[in-house]
Amino acid sequence: MEIVSKIQEWGDRNHPQWVDYFRIALGITLIWKGVAFAMNLHAFTDLMDNAGLGTAVSISLIAHTIIALHIIGGLLIALGSNTRLFCLLNIPILFTAVFFVNMPGHIMRPYSELWLSATVLIALFCFLIEGDGKLSIEYKKSQQIIEQNNTSQI
């Protein structure tokens, strides 16, 4: 647990402000893919039926979990609230998308989703370490708490 705390402290200390724009872009990308996934839910259902994965209930549960984590997680990542948590929750989804859905036989296909999925996966790992940054709700909250502590001590 101490290693995780050290990584979080390092990420909070060494976070340039321009990186926050990439965090915001990552959040918007996740929202966009969540909405696109919801609009094309039939393609996911066909893919899962062909894979022989469980019943319709489990397929529906997985699909709606992915949609919720992408949209809610993307919004909170873009706003800079609980960034590390939602990066951690989205990593298994993107890992599956890269290595089990997009990779097998579709790498050189025109308009392949592999490159976008791989880029988002790498960005999720980066922001799992980096955290929120200065352009975030969490940073604003921490600054308000520091100001309240300073004024109460005076």
pLDDT at 55 over 80: no
CA distance 101 to 20: 29
pLDDT tens digits along 40-51: 888 777 766 666
* Mean pLDDT of the region 62-75: 93
- 3-state SS track over 36-71: HHHHCHHHHHHHHHHHCCCCHHHHHHHHHHHHHHHH
Q: Which residues contact 59 (CB under 8 A, 6 or more apart)?
A: 44, 45, 48, 49, 53
* Mean pLDDT of the region 7-22: 78
Nearest Cα to Cα of residue 127 among 68, 78, 56, 92: 78
Higher-scoring residue by pLDDT: 116, 151? 116
